[in-house]
């Protein structure tokens, strides 16, 4: 019988760097991006000011963050997203528990949620304007619709994963519906619920802010589209940076607080 | 077994309840509008919406708009597939690069990238290119991450089989790694393409340019309520058909476990 030779990897001497190679590479990539950005900015290859200097963006970031009116707009957006999360999250939770708790209801209605979930929600905005007006109501509605689907689908999935023994324990103690929800269902499916909230927050943020960019006179979305309309590119970049930091930060925070990162590691 | 329990166990009964509730809801809305409990200038009658469908399809040139959106989606799809899969392969090939940038890619996947559309409007102009690039940007990160996940999850025994046959790195990739990762890559492609499609229609609506998204915006601006509702229903129907199609395709490509 023929033998196949063993592959041996050439042994190389470990390269000693003053910093960890991963950190060094990260710094290298950031520096390369900064240098390329500044070259493009100074060269004028693109239309003037489309790629402003990083110094200009930094100044705009400082000006924006030190402007009190920015916090009024930030508060408006947070307020809209907060209300949207409460409405969309609670209704999503209720519908998720209903669908996940009954196979019959799930078969009857879950397909509608499953296929409506990924549809672009912003197309409902004209309807929301007609129903709730041009003020914050229509933005809250957009956020709530966006948030509802991921929460409902995650909770329904989480309900089906609950250990049947726990449900039987609750029933044997003659727990009523409220006690079953608060003492059995929610603690047992906290991870899918938190994951749903995390996804819901992301899409509620997008729904609300996009609605603000389309038709509004307040909120961060309004500031972004205003920066576009007066061609204030450094401010637009600054606002986008702030938004991304908020969105990614909130996403990470919910994941950490909810222990989702620990699940992934194990 | 009681009649109610038998009904609850019946699969067709559940589907019938779903469809029945939907139809019942529409009939209820129609009745409430007719008796004046719902303002017909805010919510048009469902019968008017159904009647508006042929008008919208013929007068608003829906086929042309659909082809335009489909063309934008196809362009974004090609771009996102090429760059997404290549990005995933690159990160898998170079471990250091992966360690340095994987969390960045994951962070980008969680970022509300669609909010960059005003920036893209400035860079690419109010054109189809903005819409395609927005779709591309939105769909890229999930495909990179899923390609990387698929390639990394290739079973050790398969890689060892390739090594025992003294396969070259290129053969190892095309004969072992890529086929093993294909189902996961396709999951990423489905996710990425859904993100692209959502963003394409959304940006069309927001910038009032292009195909189906613009149609909704135009009808709403004309205050053609039945037409707006009909167009929204039409876009939802198309989106649902595309999602079902992608799901079927994914199932067809996925090997039997």
DSSP class per residue in B68-133:
HHHHHHHHHHHHHHHHHHHHHHHHHH-HHHHHHHHHHHHHHHHS-GGGGHHHHHHHH-SSHHHHHH
Rounded to a whole number of angstroms, the distance from the CA of B119 to the nearest CA of chain A is 7
Average pLDDT over chain B reads 87
Q: Which CATH number fits domain B55-253: 3.30.70.100, 1.10.3720.10, 3.20.20.60, 2.40.128.20?
A: 1.10.3720.10
Contact B118 A225 (CB under 8 A): yes
- Using the Cβ of A222 and the Cβ atoms of chain B, whether some distance falls under 8 Å is answered with no
Rounded to an integer, what distance in angstroms lies between the CA atom of residue B29 and that of residue B246? 33
Vertex A207, ends A205 and A212: CA angle to 5°?
95
Radius of gyration of chain B (CA): 24
Whether the CB of A115 is below 8 Å from some CB of chain B: the reply is yes
Tokens of B213: 């998204």
What does the pLDDT average to over A114-129?
89
pLDDT at B51 (0 to 100) = 92
d(CA B246, CA B251): 9
Q: Which residues of A fall within a CB distance of 8 Å from B206?
A: 122, 210, 213-214
pLDDT score for B4: 63
B94-139 pLDDT per residue, tens: 999 999 888 889 888 878 888 888 888 888 888 889 999 999 999 9
Give percent of chain B with pLDDT exceeding 70: 94
Separation of first and last alpha carbons in chain A: 42
Residue A7 touches chain B, beta carbons under 8 Å: yes
Q: Nearest CA to A145 among A110, A114, A120?
A: A120
Question: Are the beta carbons of A132 and A75 closer than 8 angstroms?
Answer: no
Spell out the residues 6+ positions from residue A232 whose beta carbon is closer than 8 angstroms to its own. Answer: A60
Of A163, A150, A3, A14, the residue nearest A84 (C-alpha): A150
pLDDT score for B86? 94
Which candidate in A1, A50, A120 is best for mutational testing of the B interface (most B CBs within 10 A)? Answer: A120
A77 in Cβ contact with A220 (< 8 Å): yes
Place of tokens 């916090």: A71
The pTM (predicted TM-score) of the whole model is: 0.83
- Minimal-distance CA residue of chain A relative to B207: A214
How far apart are alpha carbons A222 and A16 in whole angstroms? 50
Best of A1, A118, A208, A260 to mutate (most B CBs within 10 Å, chain B): A118
Q: Which residues of chain A neighbour B168 with C-beta distances below 8 Å?
A: none
CA atoms within 13 Å, Cβ hemisphere of A220: 28
Provide the 10 A C-beta neighbour count for residue B31: 12
> Is B194 an 8 Å CB contact of chain A?
yes
Instruction: Collect all residues with Cβ–Cβ distance below 8 Å to B98 and sequence separation of at least 6.
Output: B91, B92, B148
Query: What interface predicted TM-score (ipTM) does this complex get?
Result: 0.84
Neighbouring residues of B11: CB distance < 8 A, sequence distance ≥ 6: A107
Q: Which of A8-12, A35-39, A45-49, B210-214 has the lowest mean pLDDT?
A: A8-12
Residue B33 CB coordination number (10 Å): 19
Please give the interface size between A and B, counted as residue pairs whose CB atoms are below 8 Å apart: 139
Q: How far is CA A26 from the centre of its chain?
A: 24
Burial class (CB in 10 A: 0-12, 13-18, 19+), A62: exposed
Give residue limits of the domains in chain A: 21-51, 62-265
Contacts of B159 (CB under 8 A, 6+ apart): B172, B176, B177
Pick the residue from chain B with its C-alpha nearest to A124. Answer: B232
pLDDT at residue A4, as a whole number: 52
Cβ contact B112:A244 at 8 Å: yes
Domain segments of chain B as ranges: 3-43, 55-253
Region A222-251: what's the mean pLDDT?
90
- Chain A contacts in chain B segment 204-233 (CB below 8 A): 205-206, 213, 216-217, 219-220, 225, 228-229, 232
Superfamily, domain A62-265: MetI-like (1.10.3720.10)
Instruction: Point out the residue among B112, B116, B229 whose CB comes nearest to the CB of A247.
Output: B112
Q: Cβ distance B96 to A21 under 8 Å? A: yes
Contacts of A108 in chain B (CB under 8 A): 14-15, 17-18, 21
Residue A15 has pLDDT above 60, yes or no: no
State the Rg of chain A over Cα: 25
SS3 at position B232:
helix
User: Tokens in use for B94?
Assistant: 């170079």
Q: Are B26 and B207 in contact (CB under 8 A)?
A: no
How many helices, marked H, and strands, marked E, lie in chain A? 14, 0
Q: Write down the pLDDT at residue A151.
A: 92
The confidence band for A265, taking pLDDT boundaries of 50, 70 and 90, is very low
A248 touching chain B per CB within 8 A = yes
Mutate to test the interface with A, among B115, B141, B172, B215 (most CBs of A within 10 A): B115
With the C-alpha atoms ordered B117, B122, B128, B130, is the resulting torsion angle positive or negative?
negative
């Amino acid at each position: 019988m023929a033998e196949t030779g063993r592959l041996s990897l050439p042994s190389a001497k470990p390269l000693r760097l003053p910093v960890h190679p991963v950190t060094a590479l990260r710094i290298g990539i950031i520096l390369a991006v900064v240098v390329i950005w500044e070259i493009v900015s100074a060269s004028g290859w693109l239309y003037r000011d489309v790629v402003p200097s990083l110094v200009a963006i930094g100044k705009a970031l400082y000006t924006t963050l030190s402007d009190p009116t920015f916090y009024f707009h930030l508060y408006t957006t947070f307020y809209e997203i907060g209300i949207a999360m409460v409405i969309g999250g609670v209704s999503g939770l209720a519908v998720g528990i209903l669908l996940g708790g009954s196979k019959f209801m799930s078969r009857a209605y879950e397909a509608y949620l499953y296929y409506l979930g990924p549809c672009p929600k912003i197309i409902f905005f004209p309807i929301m304007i007609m129903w709730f007006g041009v003020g914050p109501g229509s933005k809250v509605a957009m956020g709530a619709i966006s948030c509802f689907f991921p929460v409902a689908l995650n909770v329904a999935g989480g309900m089906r994963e609950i250990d049947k023994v726990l449900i039987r324990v609750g029933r044997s103690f003659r727990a009523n519906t409220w006690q079953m929800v608060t003492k059995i269902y929610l603690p047992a499916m906290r991870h899918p619920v938190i994951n749903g909230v995390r996804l819901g927050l992301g899409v509620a943020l997008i729904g609300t802010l996009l609605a603000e960019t389309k038709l509004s006179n307040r909120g961060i979305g309004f500031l972004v589209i205003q920066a576009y309309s007066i061609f204030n590119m450094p401010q637009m970049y600054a606002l986008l940076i702030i938004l991304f930091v908020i969105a990614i930060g909130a996403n990470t925070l919910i994941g950490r607080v909810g222990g989702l990162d620990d699940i992934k590691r194990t | 077994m009681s009649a109610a329990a038998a009904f609850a166990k019946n699969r067709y009964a559940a589907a019938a309840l779903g469809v029945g509730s939907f139809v019942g809801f529409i009939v209820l809305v129609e009745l409430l509008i007719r008796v004046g409990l719902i303002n017909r200038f805010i919510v048009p009658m469902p019968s008017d919406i159904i009647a508006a469908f042929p008008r919208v399809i013929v007068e608003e040139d829906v086929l042309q708009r659909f082809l335009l959106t489909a063309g934008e989606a196809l362009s974004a799809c090609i771009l996102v597939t090429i760059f997404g899969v290549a990005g995933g392969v690159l990160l898998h090939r170079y471990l250091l690069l992966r360690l340095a940038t994987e969390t960045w890619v994951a962070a980008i996947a969680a970022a509300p990238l669609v909010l960059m559309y005003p920036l893209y409007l400035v860079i690419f102009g109010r054109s189809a290119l903005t819409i395609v690039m927005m779709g591309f940007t939105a769909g890229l990160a999930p495909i990179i991450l899923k390609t990387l996940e698929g390639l990394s999850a290739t079973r050790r025994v398969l890689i060892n089989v390739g090594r025992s046959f003294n396969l070259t790195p290129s053969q190892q990739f095309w004969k072992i790694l890529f086929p093993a990762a294909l189902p996961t890559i396709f999951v990423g492609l489905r996710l990425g393409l859904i993100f692209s499609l959502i963003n394409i229609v959304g940006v069309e609506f927001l910038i009032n340019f292009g195909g189906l998204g613009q149609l909704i915006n135009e009808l709403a601006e004309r205050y053609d309520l039945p037409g707006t509702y009909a167009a929204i229903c039409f876009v939802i129907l198309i989106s649902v058909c595309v999602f079902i199609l992608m799901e079927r395709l994914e199932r067809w490509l996925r090997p039997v476990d």
